[in-house]
Structure 1
Amino acid sequence: MIRLFLLLALLAAPAHAERIKDIARFAGVRANALTGYGVVVGLSGTGDQNLEFTIQSLKSATARLGVLIPPGIAPQLKNAAAVMITAELPPFAKPGQRLDVTVSALGQAKSLRGGTLLLAPMQGADGEVYALAQGNLAVGGFGAEGKDGSKIVVGTPSSGRIPGGASVERAVASPFAGDAALRLDLTEQDFSAARAVTQTINRAMGSIATTDDAATISIRAPADTAARMALAAQIESLEVRLAPPAARVIVNARTGTVVIGGEVRILPSAVAHGNLTVRITENQQASQPGAFGGGRTAVTQQSTVEAAEAPGRMQMFQPGARLGDIVDAVNALGAAPGDLVAILEALKAAGALRAELVVI
């Protein structure tokens, strides 16, 4: 049975201070996804067996090293596996820096434990090679299998990581040092937040910032790279006072988690809640035959079904009820978190819930 939990957000203050670096980032300062294809060798019989594309990959890898496998000979690949390699190229990464890579089995490999990734190129979205990956895998999961087909798997042995397993070979050009103006992008689109950030920057550094929209702020910056870096560092350290966030109620339908924001309001309304309980009791009775009847003892089943409905209690919400009032009302009704979801949906349908109800 899935347990349901209720998480209650703290009451929000009228305004609170946040560092700009925590709510926004400069355009162009972003990571780039890298992907590659490779072959892992050195497995202890848990590889891809006889997959054709793995055989082709192994032949290609050995051919680059000067070893040619004769035509018609298919190597047994119990100790090798085809894999996909993924990594993130951080902003301002330079050639020679190391990246952590994740290696995942592509074919029938049961485990990559003990394997070594052969040298593999990693490409960006533009098809260019930006890093080369190679190294020994660290695999957290493991699996075991018996001859009768029974098996046990803990974790994910078909995936592993290579800390520092990729070397950056090409840097990504960043528009941070080339554009005439710096653009600051908010992590969440909000008109009041964009206006507050613009005013904070202008008060601290003069009229250098303008609001483009609810998510972007343009900042005039000097052409010198060092001066731009210093300006960006100063802007990130500024603190801005933000208005309370929008009123939201978040419901996770899979786990039963309910998060109620501090700005949620309830209009005047009344809620009644009651539970119907059904109880089924099974009793077994033995039936004995007569002394000279020649019969056999039989067991009979008797079922008793009872239904009881708890009396419904009504709770009144006063105008402008806040988070604490909602919690008190739910506790007074004796509602479980699962019942709370139904109550909130009913309040929203009735127009009494002044908040956005988000189901994830």
Structure 2
Amino acid sequence: MIRAVLLSLGLLVAATTATADRIKDMATVAGVRSNPLVGYGVVVGLSGTGDGDSGLTLQSMQSMLSRMGLAVEVGDIDASNAAAVMVTAELGAFLKEGQEIDVTVSTVGAAESLKGGTLLMTPLMGADGEIYAIAQGNLIVGGMGLSAEDGSSLTVNIPTVGRVPNGGTVERMVESPFQNAESLILNLNRSDFSTAANVAEAINNVFGGGVAVALDGTSIQVRAPVDLDQRVSFMGLIENIQVTPDAPAAKVVVNSRTGTVVIGGEVLVTPAAVTHGGLTVQINEDFNVDQNATVTMNDNQTVIAPGQPTITPDSQLYLNQDPAKAFLFDPGVSLASLVDAINAVGAAPGDLVAILEALREAGALRAELVVI
């Protein structure tokens, strides 16, 4: 009976043709996420591009060989073909024991390249210190590094980072509240009270009143079936319900480093007058040089001795002021009118930021100004 109800509800959701976003694209299920893993390992098989005499790598190789029953001294080990690395991976939600994941390998020592290397068995731990996966395999390195005897070198991309596709094997599953929780929580990607209310209302319109409750501007609590099979079908239907999100808050975002300005569609301006003009000052420096001389008479002969030259600065100042341009914003001016008015006076990105800041200080800009 429940399956029949879910099927009919699914047809109802599929028949909805409203222009809106799917809940799948607007929210995530609380607790259903990936978990980062990290481990320390050794890559071997390098062609002389390893860590060399790095103490960290030599100690790691000595420890590894001792676990295999070999007694070696650090001085007997050459790490030119080995490198100490950090291994990272993402343990996706619902991954089970035996499934494989991709791992990323990055050098921590003086290795120049990991090309051609093989990652030895490395345990990957979670934030709680428990081992959740084991990584091992041949590396794929997209970068390349070349060097010559005269000290010149060429590096393409990053040769000190590589990946091992499907190089990690999951050894332990992370428990998720999806299986055991009485209710599921949907968290919106963008917090908004109106959108949260719209999502709860849309779910209740499909499954009946009281199924979904908006807890705050981010979270919506949804009662879910106890049976796991029905719960999966239930969430699949919820993800495809279409909801019209509420318009975002009015914001003007300014990137102070690049001069990029993004103005939201809800930005309005109250009555205000803006004057914009440019002042150009140009100074040309020049010098007039007069050569002084001393004239003396000696035995009916005239002797001219050069003296110290006289240097007189000759500066020219040019001042050019563009006529100030003023424009007036009427009550409730929209985004299009605001942009057209500012572009009409030929404002540069820096001038645009100054105008927006002045409008905000005057209380005429009905939006939040965010500088990143």
The match for 1:90 among 89, 92, 102 is 92
2:365 is equivalent to residue 353 of structure 1: yes
- Which residue of structure 2 lines up, in the alignment, with residue 314 of structure 1? 326
Distance 1:43 1:310, change over 3 A: farther
Identity of aligned residues (%): 53
More displaced 10-residue stretch of structure 1: 239-248 or 273-282: 273-282
Q: For residue 333 of structure 1, what is the aligned residue in structure 2? A: 345
Which residue number in structure 2 is paired with residue 12 of structure 1? none
Matched, 1:275 2:278: yes
CA distance in 2: counterparts of 1:29 and 1:60, whole angstroms: 38
Equivalence for 2:119: 117
User: CA separation in 2, counterparts of 1:74 and 1:284?
Assistant: 75
Aligned to 1:223: 226
Which residue of the partner structure matches residue 182 of structure 1? 184
Select which of 197, 200, 207 maps to 1:198: 200
Equivalent residue letter for 1:252: N
Supply the AA of the counterpart residue of 2:97.
P
Give the unaligned 5+ runs of structure 1: 1-14
Alpha-carbon distance in structure 2 between the residues aligned to 1:319 and 1:25: 40
Are residues 42 and 265 of structure 1, via their aligned partners in 2, closer, same or farther at CA, if it must alter by over 3 Å?
same
C-alpha separation in 2, matches of 1:142 and 1:287: 65
Higher RCO (Cα < 8 Å, 6 or more apart): 1
Are 1:260 and 2:272 counterparts? no
How far did residue 278 of structure 1 move? 4.3
RMSD: 2.9
Give 1:242's aligned amino acid: P
Distance 2:101 2:122 in 1: 14
Is 1:131 the counterpart of 2:143? The answer is no
Contact 2:51 2:111 in 1 (8 A): yes
- Provide, for residues 229-266 of structure 1, a one-character-per-residue CA deviation record: whole Å limited to 9, x for no partner: 11111111000122211111111222222111111111
8 Å contact kept, 2:273–2:327: yes
* 2:158 alignment partner in structure 1: 156
Amino acid corresponding to residue 159 of structure 1 in structure 2: V
Please give the TM-score of this superposition, normalised by the length of structure 1: 0.86
SS where residue 104 of structure 1 aligns? strand
Deviation (angstroms), 1:61: 2.2
Going from structure 1 to structure 2, the CA distance change for 1:51 and 1:303 (only over 3 Å counts) comes to farther
Once the two structures are TM-superposed, the CA of residue 193 in structure 1 deviates from its matched residue by: 0.9
Residue of structure 2 equivalent to 1:17:
20
Instruction: Give the distance between the partners of 2:80 and 2:66, measured in 1 at CA.
Output: 20
**More displaced, 206-215 or 222-231?**
206-215
Identify the match of residue 44 of structure 1 among 38, 47, 50: 47
Cα 1:119–1:340 change in 2 (3 A) is: same
Other structure's SS at 1:245 match = coil
Deviation at 1:148, TM superposition (A): 4.0
SS at match of 1:60: helix
Tell me the TM-score normalised to structure 2 length.
0.83
Return the offset for 1:147: 3.6
1:68 maps to what in 2?
Answer: 71
In structure 2, distance between residues paired with 1:255 and 1:95: 47
Q: Which residue identity does 2:326 align to in structure 1? A: M
Structure index of larger Rg: 2
| Compared CA separation, residues 279 and 40, structure 1 to 2 (3 A) | farther
* Structure 1 Cα separation of the partners of residues 344 and 84 of structure 2: 59
Structure 1 residue 281 displacement after superposition: 5.9
Equivalent positions of 1:136-147 (< 5 A) are 136-147=138-149
> How many Å apart are 1:213 and its aligned residue?
1.5
Number of aligned residues:
341
